[in-house]
Amino acid sequence: MSTIEKPSSRKLDRSPLIAGLLSLIIPGLGQIYLRERYRGAGVFICAVTSLVTVFWYNIPGWYFVPAIIWLWNIWDAVSLVGGRKRPVSIIIAALLVMGYGIGWQVTQIDPSALTKNLDRAYSIIVPMFHPDFVTHRAVTNTGWGPVEVPCSPNPPPAKNTTNGITVSISPDCGNLGDVLILQASGLWPDAPTRLYWSTPIGDQLPLGEGYITALIINSDSQGNLNAAIQVPPSATSAAPDPTIPLEHRVYLVQSRPLPGYQLSLNGSYLIQGVVETIFLALISTTFGALIAIPIGFLAARNLMGSNVITLAIYIITRTILNIVRSIEPLIIAIVFVVIVGLGPFPGVIAITLHTVAALGKLYSEVIEGIDPGPLEAIRAVGGNWLQMVRYGVIPQIVPPFMSFTIYRWDINVRTSTIIGFVGGGGIGFYLYQWIFKGDYRAIGSAFIAIVVIVMILDFVSARIRARLV
């Protein structure tokens, strides 16, 4: 906006003294007195907003901004009597300076924090550059023993035999933090054995205070193993009701290396998460687009503004679209995780609903921007509403509809990578578990997978959209 505004050709037969005094008492009142109602209302809003902002955040040093706006408002009111409008760029600049200044303090921006805790950052970042995706091939020997947590009045025996490995735990149940005695036989002799806790939903938890990976104990020369283990404090964190006794397991895993490489355990989880993410986005986009197409017609004013009934449908449809579109998919996913449980399904519902709202609005805007000539021609020859849509609207909207749908699929892929943070399935579900356990190598693998997925789909969608233009 120019810093100097052209003088108005209209001079008012009003007193500059009265205009100035009115603006001194209430900012903008002088402008209203001089019949500049919108200008006066804008000045009043700017002055009050700046004053309330400084008062609310209790930063006295910024009171000069409301003062500048107040003085400018008096100057502008006096000048309006002579037909001149003072540059509003002064108010805009003052508000921007105040906004960025207070925003810097409110958001607590501290560049020096980037250089603090470098040791902790190093311990996190370095493992991420060694992603856990493949591992050396190995043959494994696995056994497990059940244990009930928390204890019920009559817990089942904590003993199991699998693959010739017998595992027994004493006592038969435990509560969080209890120490249990584990005995195993049938293992490979003199071999390192990894022990880890598995919850009823399959989460692997560390055993023993201070451990971030599975506990490793060597079996003896007879293939036996004795160990004292502790029920992890987070063993029931994922249970709907931690007071309900459920079967947990303690796994014992031995391995011997073989030539070559294979997917690691986290690598297999990663592949599963990637597949879920892609199909979650694909199904959500398909369902969302199919539902949004008829809604887009109902939300187009040029099609629905012909009478009172259709106009009411247009207003209701637009309102619903705006409400749903304003709610983030993560929040919607939280609601449906409670309703239908954990897994990809609540993620599909959440992204589908948001896709319907977003595409419904985009489709309606495409319809509102079409050439009205064919519509008028169809009306002129007596065509009804359906004929108008069939022959005048659809031929014009197919290419942009396809382009917006593909672009939305691209967006949904990005969204579905994090929808799992609230239990909505996809790669985000595993990523959250790895963050919770501090497995930074697996986190690095997830980051690489997400980047690759997004880059490939971005390239593919860009090529498809280019062909549609």
Q: What is the DSSP string of 144-178?
A: EEEEEES--SSPPP-EEEETTEEEEEESSB--TT-
Say if domain 135-262 classifies as CATH 3.30.9: no
Please, how many CA atoms are within 13 Å of residue 139, restricted to the half-sphere of its CB?
5
The packing angle between helices 265-298 and 344-368, to 10°, is 30
Instruction: Indicate the pTM of the whole model.
Output: 0.65
**Residue 206's closest CA among 245, 175, 234?**
234
Q: For the chain, give every residue range classified as CATH 2.60.40.
A: 135-262
Q: For the chain, give every residue range classified as CATH 1.10.3720.10.
A: 267-468
pLDDT of residue 292: 93
pLDDT of residue 1: 40
Return phi, psi of residue 58, to 5°.
55, 55
380 neighbors 342 (Cβ within 8 angstroms) = no
pLDDT of residue 70: 92
Q: What is the dihedral of CA 333, 339, 345, 350, to 10 degrees?
A: -30
Q: What is the architecture of the domain spanning 267-468?
A: Orthogonal Bundle (1.10)
Each residue's pLDDT, cut to its tens digit, for the chain (469 residues) gives 444 444 444 555 578 888 889 889 999 998 898 888 999 999 999 999 999 999 898 888 889 999 999 999 999 988 888 888 888 898 899 999 998 998 888 888 888 887 887 888 888 888 888 898 888 888 889 999 999 999 999 999 999 999 899 999 999 999 888 899 999 999 999 999 999 898 887 777 877 655 556 788 999 999 999 999 988 877 776 666 778 898 999 999 998 888 988 888 888 889 988 998 889 999 999 999 999 999 998 998 887 877 888 889 999 999 999 999 888 888 998 888 888 887 888 889 999 999 999 999 999 988 888 887 877 787 787 777 777 777 777 888 888 888 889 888 888 888 888 888 887 778 888 888 888 878 889 999 999 988 888 888 888 877 877 776 6
pLDDT of residue 12: 52
pLDDT of residue 469: 62
Paired sense of beta strands 192-198 and 246-263, if any: antiparallel
Residue 79 corresponds to which amino acid?
Answer: S
What is the spatial distance between Cα 465 and Cα 461, in angstroms, rounded to a whole number? Answer: 6
pLDDT of residue 211: 54
Strand partners, 197: 205, 250
Q: Is 257 helix (H, G, I), strand (E, B) or coil?
A: strand
